[in-house]
Amino acid sequence: MDTRVTQTADIPFYQSAGNEIELFELAWKNRLPLIIKGPTGVGKTRFVAHMAAKLGLPLYTVACHDDLTAADLVGRHLIGDGQTVWCDGPLTRAVREGGICYLDEVVEARKDTTVVIHPLADDRRILPIDRTGETLHAPDNFMLVMSYNPGYQNFMKGLKPSTRQRFVTLRFDFPSAAAEEAILVGETACEPMLAKQLVSIARSLRALKDVDLEEAASTRLLVYAARLIGVGMDPVDACRAALVESLTDEPEVVEALMEVITATFGR
């Protein structure tokens, strides 16, 4: 399980695309849980880290997966030095400390695991810990945030209505061309012309109709390409490594995507 506390000394760079900052702050102030949904690589996790730092709150991030259990979130008894000691999970620590617990790609977790969040995500705002007999009451500065990619949802992997309807929901999508260029410049300090070229490539790849891709070219991958170019890598080679090969394993599709890239850089 990937759990980490984000330091709040520096606020991570984030380029606002709408009213998401205001909505997050209002949800936090009014003790409302939040779902962020959107494609891979559009800044959901960065946004949560930005807001945690901006609000001065500890952030506990859990990368959800098929084997995630309720004990992974809440905690468990561990044996050490001849005694049994209770160890809080990230959800419990966030409730005790009054921070943000962020469940990343929550639809990957088992449905019986997410039920543990229900009492925290309604007006009760409590976390019962059956194994210790405790019932924790979340302080005002605790916030529960979850994210998922709607493109991955199916009958077997999706949020139950009883879970969804406990949350305020924020939709993320690919930013406008101007906003995406600003993100690249702000994140990598690349030249504005390079940012414009990379964004043009991404928008062209996203618009391809005859190429079967599971995921569109993300802003995250554009950042990777810009960083490689920034340290001296040939732009075409950098785009192939950071964009094309990350999107497909099919040689024919690679060739089709590379045509867009070589045309952009005049090859």
pLDDT value of residue 2: 44
pLDDT value of residue 7: 41
Burial letters 147-165, b for 16+ CB under 10 A, else e: bbbeeeeeeeeebeeebee
Average pLDDT over residues 18-23: 94
Q: pLDDT tens-digit profile of 146-187?
A: 999 987 655 456 778 888 899 999 999 999 999 999 999 999
Angle at 130 between CA 129 and CA 135, to 5 degrees: 40
pLDDT value of residue 152: 62
Q: pLDDT tens-digit profile of 241-263?
A: 999 999 999 999 999 999 999 99
What does DSSP assign to residue 216?
P
Q: In the Cβ-directed half-sphere of 121, how many Cα atoms lie within 13 Å?
A: 23
Q: What is the rounded average pLDDT for all residues in the chain?
A: 90
| H-assigned helices in 158-207 | 161-164, 177-188, 192-207
pTM of the model: 0.87
Query: What is the identity of the amino acid at 210?
Result: D
| Whole-number Å distance between alpha carbons of 105 and 163 | 14
| Whole-number Å distance between alpha carbons of 228 and 221 | 11
| Whole-number Å distance between alpha carbons of 262 and 112 | 49
